[in-house]
Amino acid sequence: MTLANEKVREIIQNGKAVLGIEFGSTRIKAVLVDEENNTIAIGSHEWENQFEEGVWTYSEEVIWEGLRACYSNMAEEVYNQYGVYIENIGAIGFSGMMHGYMPFNKEGQLLVPFRTWRNTITGEASEKLTELLNYHIPQRWSIAHLYQAILNGETHVGEIDFITTLAGYIHWQLTGKKVMGVGEASGMFPIDLETKNYNAQMVAKFNQAIEDKKYAWKLEDILPQVKVAGELGGRLTEEGAKCLDATGRLKAGIPICPPEGDAGTGMVATNSVMKRTGNVSAGTSVFAMIVLEKELSKVYDAIDLVTTPTGELVAMVHCNNCTSDLNSWINMFEEFAGALGASVDKNKLFTVLYEKALEGEPDAGGLLAYNYFSGEHITGFEEGRPLFVRSSQSKLNLANFMRAHLFTALGALKIGLDILMKEEKVAVDEVLGHGGLFKTKGVGQKILAAAINAPVSVMENAGEGGAWGIAVLAKYMKAKLDGVTNRSLEEYLAQDVFVNEKMSKMAPDANDVKGFEDFMVRYKKCLDIESAAVKSLNWSE
């Protein structure tokens, strides 16, 4: 065993390693970190949601099987690499895909199958709550699911004793504490930025709106208690330890930080929790999160409002479509190369084609594309059809073709971000880009800088995502508990976690900015073409 591995072995044996586990939509991931936040072991478990009786869900059995399998996979890697079994851990954190609906009765029984964020069955509730509270309530929020169940007259509502999210459920079962990090809580019900708790006036309005139902509960009685980053969320119980580690080796009493959502852990993992910063995650879908200095002047259907793990207001723009259509075109180029008898490395193909886009005209030569594999809420589409469009005057060449498809990957996102930056005058000092769009060095970064007209940074060494982010939050809580730090989370991340992180920063190019704006004039003007395609292109009929 190497000297470095011996040191890690000692950290694990002394119970100083910290564990983060995040429940994603297709994978549960565990990340164990050392005292310098370096990843020393990873575990994972693949899983899929099920569509049952019109609801996207994961069963309780599948949730616990997945958690144990993920932990076991990580613990096995620890033993294989360092020759030691895990018996104690310095701190633990749990995170999950945000929102959704898990209602329980007084006996702790789940009253209806877990309704995930993916369900779009709460349209009436979303619309009515947004009007009632004068605050945008997306369909996926927990309060929208609760209110829709009330509007539907579902009998289980009268039996509710507690509602929570996936991360909150895991935390409750392992600690006995019905608590939640403020970032995750902000996806259940709006947060008061002063009190860092649920907005009391809005809670009162909700209670008044359902008063005639004569339920035994008030909203404030059934929501989790809100905690901010750095506070103790609870400790692992004896029963909880057995639920997590099937071997029975793991000891109880381990401190656990408040559970957070994947949005909050993503902000932590990208050091984007400070005001006037943000991050853009661009892969199959794309979303941007910008930390605001103040409330927006009005309600926008395209903007979701959540908070950082410390309770600072965050504007979120989420789009369903990003790189899927672009990837399809690149697959076709790979097929063409194969037809010529050429064997092309896929990574090289991406690099060559992405870099070619930088040679294109600023506005992509009059070309236009829509990457709508599915519907796009921001532009009003419930369905989508991928399109490539040009006029006889457009300049079709490879560079302009690739540039148009990179532009459109961020097209819907730009419409949402323009609301923030042009209408609300939101100031952004720096945005961090991460995800597949940014793998080719300098290309996606340059395109995003043009789209938002602000500097974009990319980390040279990509982290382990949200699971690592919740591990950092657990480590921050442990440092606060032990009196090791009195820094704010923002200071802690900047000075203790990311201080040596190598970043590549790129300012927007004026020609690119104008070119993207010109492209967006076409993009918005020609949405009727996309509408016609949705109506006309239906191969199943």
List the domain boundaries for the chain: 3-262, 324-406+510-536
Protein fold of 3-262: Nucleotidyltransferase; domain 5 (3.30.420)
What would the mean pLDDT of 203-210 be, rounded to a whole number?
A: 98
Q: What is the pLDDT of residue 275?
A: 94
Q: What is the pLDDT of residue 503?
A: 86
What would the mean pLDDT of 3-10 be, rounded to a whole number?
A: 85
345-376 pLDDT tens trace: 999 999 999 999 999 999 999 999 999 988 89
Where does the pLDDT of residue 423 fall: very low under 50, low under 70, confident under 90, or very high at 90 and above? Answer: very high
Tokens of 193: 């930025």
Residue that wins the pLDDT comparison between 526 and 281: 526
Element (H, E) at 288: strand 286-291
Q: What is the pLDDT of residue 279?
A: 92
Say which residue the tokens 């259907």 belong to.
Answer: 301
Distances 148 to 119, 143, 359, 440, 446 between C-alpha atoms, Å: 12, 8, 51, 44, 43
Q: What is the pLDDT of residue 415?
A: 97
Where does the pLDDT of residue 212 fall: very low under 50, low under 70, confident under 90, or very high at 90 and above? Answer: very high
Where does the pLDDT of residue 466 fall: very low under 50, low under 70, confident under 90, or very high at 90 and above? Answer: confident
C-beta contacts of 81-84 below 8 A and 24+ residues apart: 81/5, 81/41, 82/1, 82/5, 82/8, 82/9, 82/12, 82/40, 82/41, 83/1, 83/9, 84/9, 84/12, 84/13
**Contact criterion met (CB below 8 Å) for 198 and 223:** yes
What would the mean pLDDT of 192-212 be, rounded to a whole number?
A: 97
Tokens of 487: 């820094």
Whole-structure pTM value: 0.89
Which alpha helices (H) appear in 453-509, and where do they start and end? 465-481, 489-492
pLDDT at 461 over 70: no
Q: Are strands 277-282 and 430-434 parallel, antiparallel or unpaired?
A: parallel
Where does the pLDDT of residue 166 fall: very low under 50, low under 70, confident under 90, or very high at 90 and above? Answer: very high
What would the mean pLDDT of 86-92 be, rounded to a whole number?
A: 97
Using left for φ > 0, alpha for ψ between -120 and 50, and beta otherwise, residue 245 falls in: beta
**Contact criterion met (CB below 8 Å) for 94 and 174:** yes
CA distance 126 to 54: 18
pLDDT at 429 over 80: yes
What would the mean pLDDT of 501-514 be, rounded to a whole number?
A: 93
CA distance 398 to 190: 47
Where does the pLDDT of residue 191 fall: very low under 50, low under 70, confident under 90, or very high at 90 and above? Answer: very high
Average pLDDT, the chain: 94
CA distance 466 to 473: 10
CA distance 157 to 178: 19
Tokens of 527: 């949405």
**Contact criterion met (CB below 8 Å) for 165 and 262:** no
pLDDT at 428 over 70: yes
294-342 pLDDT tens trace: 999 999 999 999 999 999 999 999 898 999 999 999 999 999 999 999 9
20-73 pLDDT tens trace: 999 988 899 999 999 999 999 999 999 999 988 889 999 999 999 999 999 999
Percent of the chain topping pLDDT 90: 85
CA distance 2 to 355: 41
Closest CA to 288 of 306, 309, 261, 310: 306
pLDDT at 232 over 90: yes
Cα of first residue to Cα of last residue in the chain, in angstroms, is 64
CA distance 338 to 150: 57
Tokens of 208: 């008044």
* Beta-ladder partners of 51: 56
Say which residue the tokens 């144990």 belong to.
Answer: 68
DSSP-assigned letter for residue 101: B
**Contact criterion met (CB below 8 Å) for 73 and 92:** no
* Beta-ladder partners of 388: 369
Where does the pLDDT of residue 1 fall: very low under 50, low under 70, confident under 90, or very high at 90 and above? Answer: low
What would the mean pLDDT of 129-138 be, rounded to a whole number?
A: 96
Q: What is the pLDDT of residue 539?
A: 66
Q: Are strands 277-282 and 304-307 parallel, antiparallel or unpaired?
A: unpaired
CA distance 322 to 268: 23
CA distance 284 to 325: 9
Q: What is the pLDDT of residue 4?
A: 74
Q: What is the pLDDT of residue 538?
A: 82
CA distance 404 to 426: 27
pLDDT at 462 over 90: no
